[in-house]
A and B are shown apart, each in its own frame.
Chain A
């Protein structure tokens, strides 16, 4: 990854445009995801608040419905009194149990009849209750009014359902408590249900907050004036409602998703908490809910009272709630995605630029190759596997005179184009070599241009093979060497002429000096013998030099003519040795032929005797006493001629030099006839041409040297090869002629 980034950045460095594009893209994506996030947030907020509103209004309505339900309950209870003026404790008990409070009114702590008792009636009332055995046979002997103390009038909880668990309320003087009394007076004076401010229930089990609903019961149910109501008041139907029970029941009865909780405060006179904070599962916790922002505050009128309900919600827009990706997650996702995309883009940009560079390089290379081929001064042709031209460069037009359009599709080198000038065998052999043997061909062709003019090319034709070694196409490169050939010929002719012209005066000097020495022009004084002898030697040396130069020129231009034939080397060796014997005798050296094989060899007699002459001549030059022996040996392929002398030998450092061009070994030259320095070089060249070699077999300073000269045996493979080579050269230089 780091590497990727690194190289990515290095790519960027090279590409400001890309960098700007990338940053722009990144910016757009981030801003885009932010905008999307916000709008989703907004949408979800809107959805949430809409749902919240729905939920709160549902809550409010449910609350009112509940209160109304209780109101109806109170009214139904009161109707008992109005229908029968007075009901008994037992009847109340029966009525109460028929309500099935726990199922229908779970938040109802008790429903009671509160009887108005005047101070005069107080004792009688107490006695009556104590003796009332209508429900409990033991009656209520301990019954008393609570709290104790005198009052102008008493409103005493008389009938109470259920009594069980609400014993503390039995006999309670509701009028004794100011909050309750206010509600009693309000209910009495208005004839309507009144609700107390939040109060603590007196029952032991309660200890909880709630409120009382009080509905007045008059002696005369038709009373309609305040005075009448105050006179006629007989008692109240009382319902005690636990606030937390009430609201728990409400929240549980409504599916709430956006609401997290609520609290209720009675704000009619001054603020009094009715319901501390409860959550949507109706649990009142220690949490006051204050740390949860109040999302909505509603006020509802419940009878004479006003309640303020604080609905709270800590529910932020959420995935679960909305069925949408949460904006935060989205923005993070957006960032991650844009980062990933950026990396992908970066990488692809890197790859792209790499690929582009490669493609560019390749194109450049191809372009280079194309230009090189197109503009090559050599004739370049590509043909299919059958030799039909599929490509020809400009030089084809220039050299052959045929237009490229003319040559396309035609067989390369056919008679209708530039070929057909040579023996059909040559073409056959050539085609076999490149097509069947699948080998490259190198050689010269005589061709003709469109205008009929002859020209010579040096051709290199290669088959291009596929993986299965099948020819796909051929590439032919031909160089017009007509001019070069002409120049070569001219050079050769120049050397020939020059050597001829040099030889003529040298012939005169040599001839005349020899004749003077021979006395043809009269007696020669003794003093002249030495200088005349030196002139003769110098002239001979000069003639040698010219001969060697001519040979050298011929060898190097490949125009030295070889006439191969099979022959017995013993005769040749004998002849050369015999011709040189006079010089040996003169020096007092034995020159003889040793053991000589009669194996037939292949070679050019003249050239071989030239080489032998040179080798034996060298030995003669460097041997002062002893002998020179010419032996032969044969092996599988060669006849080896050895020239062994007892001469001065050759020092090590000179061994490498002796076969070089114009090399003369100065250290042993003193007082010896000087050579041209070409003898061994030319000998080696000639031997090589004949398939053999000339080498120094061994040499010991002061003891002598052995030179070897090998020639191919007639029956050897090498002889076959040499024959073919010489024949080929002959074909290439068919009519070499010296100017005469």
Chain B
């Protein structure tokens, strides 16, 4: 049970992932572009963000950069979920900017994506207290 923010401009895919995540018992918040995504992170405080790259107004990398630049939200884990090939420079850039994973949509079924998110959240939750301690300290 987690709150998941999906930031993607393709409503069809958003609906698909939303169905799968909700079917798995998660709460899903959606945003159609980077601006909206940033707002929703702040307002809805999701546990994890699935961020597309190619979007109008503000692309995913810029959104990621802003997330990481904002101290109040920068600890929220971000998974790049995109159809931009993983062998491109952007995958590196996404990871370098602080994304926890880079998934190419076409390579995974929604079920596999849900599984990945679960794994990451589980790992993140184990590590999170340490991070918090570090921040508090």
Contact = CB atoms under 8 A, between A and B. Distances in A.
Whether chain B is bound by chain A comes out as yes
Interface of A: 496, 499-500, 503-504, 506-508, 510-512, 514-515, 518, 520, 543, 546-547, 550-551, 554, 560-561, 563, 606-607, 736-740
A508 B84 contact: no
A496 B84 CA distance: 8
Given A511-B110, A740-B60, A740-B61, A606 B86 contact: yes
A738 B106 contact: no
B132 interface: no
Given A547-B106, A740-B59, 7 more contacts: A499-B85, A511-B109, A550-B87, A560-B87, A738-B84, A739-B54, A740-B61
B54 A520 contact: no
B89 interface: yes
Nearest to A543: B106
Contacts of A520: 19-20, 23
A499 B110 CA distance: 20
B16 interface: yes
Given A500-B83, A737-B89, A738-B88, A508 B107 contact: no
Interface string B44-71: 0000000001100001110000000000
Contact of B88 (A496, A515, A518): A496
Nearest to B19: A520
Q: Is chain A's interface secondary structure helix, strand, loop, or mixed overall?
A: helix
Contacts of A607: 87
A563 B111 contact: no
A148 to B, nearest CB: 168
A194 B88 CA distance: 154
A543 B107 contact: yes
A503 B106 contact: yes
Contact of A504 (B83, B86, B88): B83
B35 interface: no
Contact of B106 (A546, A560, A561): A546
A418 to B, nearest CB: 29
Contacts, number: 85
B13 to A, nearest CB: 6
A508 B13 contact: yes
Contact of B111 (A515, A736, A737): A515
B74 interface: no
Given A500-B54, A504-B10, A515 B89 contact: no
B87 A507 contact: no
Contacts of A740: 53-54, 59-61, 84, 90
B19 A547 contact: no
A515 B16 contact: yes
Nearest to B16: A511
Most chain A beta-carbon contacts within 10 A, residue among B13, B53, B83: B83
Nearest to A607: B87
B105 A515 contact: no
Most chain B beta-carbon contacts within 10 A, residue among A499, A510, A511: A511
Contacts of A500: 54, 83-85
Contacts of B92: 563
Q: Which 3 A-B pairs have the closest CB atoms?
A: A503-B83, A514-B109, A507-B105
B12 interface: yes
Contact of A514 (B13, B104, B111): B111
Most chain B beta-carbon contacts within 10 A, residue among A503, A736, A737, A740: A740
A503 B89 contact: no
A510 B108 CA distance: 8
B83 A507 contact: yes
Bin chain B's interface residue count: 20 to 34
Nearest to B24: A520
B12 A508 contact: yes
Nearest to A505: B12
Nearest to B93: A737
A543 B105 CA distance: 10
Contacts of B17: 511
A554 B109 contact: no
B46 to A, nearest CB: 21
A420 B34 CA distance: 41
Contacts of A508: 10, 12-13, 16
Contacts of B23: 520
B115 to A, nearest CB: 12
24 contacts: A496-B88, A499-B83, A500-B84, A503-B106, A504-B10, A504-B105, A507-B13, A508-B10, A510-B106, A510-B109, A511-B16, A511-B17, A514-B111, A515-B19, A518-B111, A547-B107, A550-B85, A554-B87, A606-B86, A736-B89, A737-B89, A738-B84, A738-B90, A740-B84
B101 to A, nearest CB: 14
B136 to A, nearest CB: 35
Interface string B101-122: 0001111011100000000000
A339 to B, nearest CB: 88
B20 A515 contact: yes
Nearest to A506: B106
Contacts of A496: 84-85, 88
B106 A507 contact: yes
Contacts of B84: 496, 500, 738, 740
A607 to B, nearest CB: 8
Contacts of A511: 13, 16-17, 20, 105, 109-110
A504 B12 CA distance: 10
B92 to A, nearest CB: 7
B111 A551 contact: no
Nearest to A519: B23
B16 A512 contact: yes
Contact of A738 (B16, B85, B109, B110): B85
A517 to B, nearest CB: 9
Nearest to A546: B106
A543 B19 CA distance: 23
Contacts of A563: 92
A506 B106 CA distance: 7
Most chain A beta-carbon contacts within 10 A, residue among B54, B90, B106, B111: B106
Nearest to B8: A504
A512 B13 CA distance: 9
Interface in B1-55: 10, 12-13, 16-17, 19-20, 23, 53-54
Contacts of B16: 508, 511-512, 515
Contacts of B61: 740
Contacts of B83: 499-500, 503-504, 507
A551 B85 CA distance: 9
Contacts of A504: 10, 13, 83, 105-106
B54 to A, nearest CB: 5
